[in-house]
Amino acid sequence: LSVPRQRIKEYYERVKRILKETRKWDYVVSKFPEGELAVYRAVTIILERLAEVGVDPQTFDWKAAFVKLEDYDSIDSFIEALEEEGVLPTPTITELGASEEAFIAREASRLEGQIMSLIEEAKDVRPEILKRVRERIAEALGQVEDIDRLYLEVSRLKEEARRERAKAREYKAKTQELEKELRKLYEEISALRQQLEEAKKAQKRYVYKMVALKAVTHIPSFLGEDGKVYGPFEAGQIFNVPERDAHKLISRGLAQPWKPTVFPPETPKPPKKEINPEIKVKTDTLWEQYINAVLSHEPIVAMEAARQLREFRKKLFA
């Protein structure tokens, strides 16, 4: 929007000539505290405004405008009067920023929605995932601080641009920067939300290997690796916990591994003793003698063999 200094000087000289010809120059210069500079500023504002809307300054009626300058108390009121008369194009600053502002308001709404969903979705997420999300939110807070500063600058520039045309370009550039920063933050929050969703899905898919334990002492409630709360458990109580938590409890001496008994224990049997081969031979012989004596009707021999066998039996099971 800047107009070359040479051109400003050229038109300033023209206006000066007009005012001198109409014998208004001396009065105008003495009326405004800035003196000649007031005229120079008025010429600059008009040239910049014309350049902005693409009007050739040659077509502007400099004489008709500046002969009335003496009627005003300030250059600003002179410019305003020219605008009201329709001689000078009205500021387009509102139109200039309107589309950007609408975009920023829209983008902020979308971002608002994303953050609200994020808060809702984070409700039943495992603490370690939540911790990571929180770290990213802290980063986003830093970003939004910058956005806030940028927004204040945009608001200030808008006010300035209303008064000073040269600020219009700066205002537009800052508005676009704000727009870009907001979009960047939106993309980051969206990505974070997506990651959270994926982590939640993975959380559901993952099946923790559970281990049965028996509490040795009182165990206060704790948060398991799967994000579930376990306990409190009393001594002797049997419970299931994820494997990693089970290792911790065992290593701290709070619990012992516990295996469920599927079948009732068998009744104990006496260990089988190996029979001395000599005794086996002797008993076998005595048993044969006893059988033969019975079969050959020799009761005295049979009774003697039976007596010896009883004695062996006594010795064996004593």
Query: Contact residues for other proteins (CB under 8 A)?
Result: 94-95, 97-98, 101-102, 104-105, 108-109, 111-112, 115-116, 118-119, 122-123, 127, 130-131, 133-134, 137-138, 140-141, 144-145, 147-148, 151, 155, 158, 182, 223, 227, 229
- Angle value at C-alpha 84, between 78 and 90, nearest 5 degrees: 95
User: Which is closer to other proteins, CB of 142 or CB of 264?
Assistant: 142
User: Which is closer to other proteins, CB of 16 or CB of 167?
Assistant: 167
User: Which is closer to other proteins, CB of 39 or CB of 115?
Assistant: 115
Tokens encoding 274:
């190996």
Task: Phi first, then psi: give them for residue 222, nearest 5 degrees.
Answer: -145, 165
Task: Phi first, then psi: give them for residue 214, nearest 5 degrees.
Answer: -120, 125
Smallest gap from Cβ 243 to other proteins, in A, equals 20
Instruction: Compute the residue count for the chain.
Output: 318
Please choose, from the candidates 260, 254, 180, the residue with its C-alpha nearest in 3D space to the C-alpha of residue 218. Answer: 254
User: Which is closer to other proteins, CB of 145 or CB of 311?
Assistant: 145
Smallest gap from Cβ 195 to other proteins, in A, equals 14
Strands (E) in the chain, as ranges, are 210-215, 222-223, 229-230, 238-242, 255-257
Smallest gap from Cβ 96 to other proteins, in A, equals 10
User: Which is closer to other proteins, CB of 110 or CB of 169?
Assistant: 110
Q: What is the DSSP letter of 69?
A: G
Strand order in the sheet with 255-257: 238-242, 210-215, 255-257
d(CA 243, CA 198): 24
Smallest gap from Cβ 52 to other proteins, in A, equals 17
Smallest gap from Cβ 32 to other proteins, in A, equals 31
Please choose, from the candidates 217, 219, 212, the residue with its C-alpha nearest in 3D space to the C-alpha of residue 242. Answer: 212
User: Which is closer to other proteins, CB of 94 or CB of 292?
Assistant: 94
Smallest gap from Cβ 149 to other proteins, in A, equals 11
Smallest gap from Cβ 206 to other proteins, in A, equals 17
Say how many Å lie between the first and final Cα of the chain, rounded: 123
Q: What secondary structure does DSSP assign to 112-144, as a single string?
A: HHHHHHHHHHGGG--HHHHHHHHHHHHHHHHHH
User: Which is closer to other proteins, CB of 105 or CB of 281?
Assistant: 105
Smallest gap from Cβ 134 to other proteins, in A, equals 4
User: Which is closer to other proteins, CB of 57 or CB of 97?
Assistant: 97
Please choose, from the candidates 171, 165, 253, 166, the residue with its C-alpha nearest in 3D space to the C-alpha of residue 213. Answer: 253
